[in-house]
């Protein structure tokens, strides 16, 4: 049975697309599909500063993709929805052919 996309579905997919458009945010989501983590551990694993990690986690929280769990004076992060990890796993199985003259890794020049 086909499902008609609603504005809510469209907005949710647009938020996911925005999150995946940045390599650091993508790395965070892929790391959190394995297990929850502290921001400092994520920053170290992805080779970014703690400030960059803080900004990217704030973006992902705002998109509703991750949530912060208080742990004393610290907080750890996990994916906000249990469906997200399997969805990311499925996306990793997608094979794309990239037109060399269109997408150069810095964005898509297609119009």
Residue 19 has pLDDT above 80, yes or no: yes
Average pLDDT over residues 92-110: 71
From CA 36, how far away is CA 57, in angstroms rounded?
13
Residue 83 has pLDDT above 80, yes or no: yes
Tally of domains within the chain: 1
Q: How many other C-beta atoms are found inside a 10 Å radius of the C-beta of residue 60? A: 25
104 in any annotated domain: no
63 in any annotated domain: yes
Q: What is the pTM of this model?
A: 0.81
Proportion of the chain above pLDDT 70, given as a percent? 87
Average pLDDT over residues 28-46: 97
72 in any annotated domain: yes
40 in any annotated domain: yes
Q: In terms of residue numbers, what domain contains 67?
A: 15-92
CATH of the domain at 34: 1.10.10.10
84 in any annotated domain: yes
At residue 109, the pLDDT reads: 61
108 in any annotated domain: no
6 in any annotated domain: no
103 in any annotated domain: no
Average pLDDT over residues 32-60: 97
């Amino acid at each position: 049975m086909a499902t008609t996309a609603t504005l809510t579905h469209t907005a949710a997919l647009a938020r996911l697309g925005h999150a995946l458009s940045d390599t650091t945010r993508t790395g965070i989501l892929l790391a959190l599909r394995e297990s929850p983590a502290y921001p400092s551990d994520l920053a170290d694993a992805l080779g970014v500063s703690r400030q960059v990690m803080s900004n990217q986690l704030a973006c992902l929280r705002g998109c509703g993709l991750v949530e912060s769990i208080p742990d004393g004076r610290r907080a750890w992060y996990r994916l906000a929805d249990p469906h997200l990890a399997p969805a990311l796993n499925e996306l990793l199985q997608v094979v794309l052919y990239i037109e060399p003259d269109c997408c150069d890794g810095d964005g898509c020049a297609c119009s």
